[in-house]
Chains A and B, each alone.
Chain A
């Protein structure tokens, strides 16, 4: 019984919604910045850059989610702000999450 961890631990979820074209660049960045893993999904929506409808190659958006320590999350956030905020459609936000198996993150 003791082997299964039942109490949740706090971690930070960083969510990046951005132009799909950035995917391979961002994944390289995430690797370097120490993200333990990520989940990517296609995204649609509307924002200050107009409707981004994800209906074909150049117009697509993705959502990248990373669960990690607060320190890594802030590092990632600072990095994307410095490198991509000026020229690309992108938002990025942090939220607190609770996870099991905290050693994975």
Chain B
């Protein structure tokens, strides 16, 4: 089997960045690509959601919400054990409890290319998983009583770019339905891999820039960033199996559990916990965990799901 070209674009960006090449995508392009990706994912999910919404979905959503609360609670003590400060631990834990939409886009492409069925309302879970970890992270750092400006913060979180685009796309998909959305379909069919490839090229460039920070923060953080995806994936896989997802769906939930946020949470943490060192969490989530999931993790999570749910 040849290499997945989409993943190779990431490797290309990574290498170009590490070689300190002049290569640079215009910032507006990166912005555009991420908007297209998130809208496409949301729209696709919405179209399918309209066709198969059910009561069972509500239970699944609740379970996924619980997963978003659990993940930072697993990461936090681990980070404290590695002797990170309380606030830094809480901030990193929030990043790892939340999810990366970029990683999700890659797992979608992977499942499509391997022709594996998955529940198409998964984007809903992405949106659900983005939020609880942020709240848990802040509570871990500050406790409940202190004067966190929840109103301002929830505005920041809920109106943030990624959640807005995902939910907006979902809603448009649900309201319009499959037929009406038809003309937009290339956005999540033929155009999707192209947009994803360019997006990953830029992500490779961005990830390579974390190498300096990684050298500074050292082995502790690297080992956490390599260990946590396994734990997150195990949680995702278990919950996926418990709520009756298909093999593909469970593998995707595992991938979501393994992934760490690098857009929504850094922004929220910068405002809510300004004293936390942002380069720690970004170096871990972007420099280690993101490449790990893209290059190695996703196929492993799929295999684990196939092993755990042979009949599904």
Contact surface of A with B, Cβ cutoff 8 Å? 19, 21, 25, 50, 53-58, 84, 86-88
| Residues of chain A within 8 A of B266, CB atoms compared | 58
Query: Residue of A at shortest CB range from B276?
Result: A87
Query: Residue of B at shortest CB range from A42?
Result: B27
Give 9 A-B pairs besides A50-B279, A57-B267 with Cβ atoms closer than 8 angstroms: A19-B270, A54-B27, A56-B206, A57-B31, A58-B266, A58-B270, A58-B278, A86-B274, A86-B275
| B127 CB, min distance to chain A CBs, angstroms | 18
Q: List 9 A-B contacts (CB under 8 A).
A: A19-B270, A21-B267, A21-B271, A55-B206, A56-B206, A58-B267, A58-B270, A87-B274, A87-B275
- Report the Cα distance A86→B273, complex, angstroms: 12
Query: Residue of B at shortest CB range from A86?
Result: B275
| Residues of chain A within 8 A of B274, CB atoms compared | 84, 86-88
Q: Cβ of B24 and Cβ of A55 under 8 Å apart? A: yes
Residues of B in contact (CB 8 Å), total 19
Contact surface of B with A, Cβ cutoff 8 Å? 24, 27, 30-31, 161, 202, 206, 209, 262-263, 266-267, 270-271, 274-275, 278-279, 282
Q: Name the residue in B206, B209, B274, B275 with the highest tally of chain A Cβ atoms < 10 Å from its Cβ.
A: B274
Interchain pairs with CB closer than 8 A, number: 34
Query: Residue of B at shortest CB range from A83?
Result: B274
Known: A19-B270, A21-B267, A21-B270. A56 touches B275 (CB 8 A): no
Query: A25's contact among B30, B206, B271, by CB below 8 Å, is which?
Result: B271
Known: A21-B270, A87-B275. A56 touches B27 (CB 8 A): yes
- Report the Cα distance A21→B263, complex, angstroms: 12
| Residues of chain B within 8 A of A88, CB atoms compared | 274
| B160 CB, min distance to chain A CBs, angstroms | 10
| Residues of chain A within 8 A of B278, CB atoms compared | 58
| A62 CB, min distance to chain B CBs, angstroms | 14
| Residues of chain A within 8 A of B270, CB atoms compared | 19, 21, 58
Query: Residue of A at shortest CB range from B30?
Result: A56
Q: Name the residue in B24, B267, B270, B282 with the highest tally of chain A Cβ atoms < 10 Å from its Cβ.
A: B270
Sorted from nearest, which 5 A-B pairs have the closest CB atoms? A87-B274, A58-B266, A21-B270, A87-B275, A55-B27
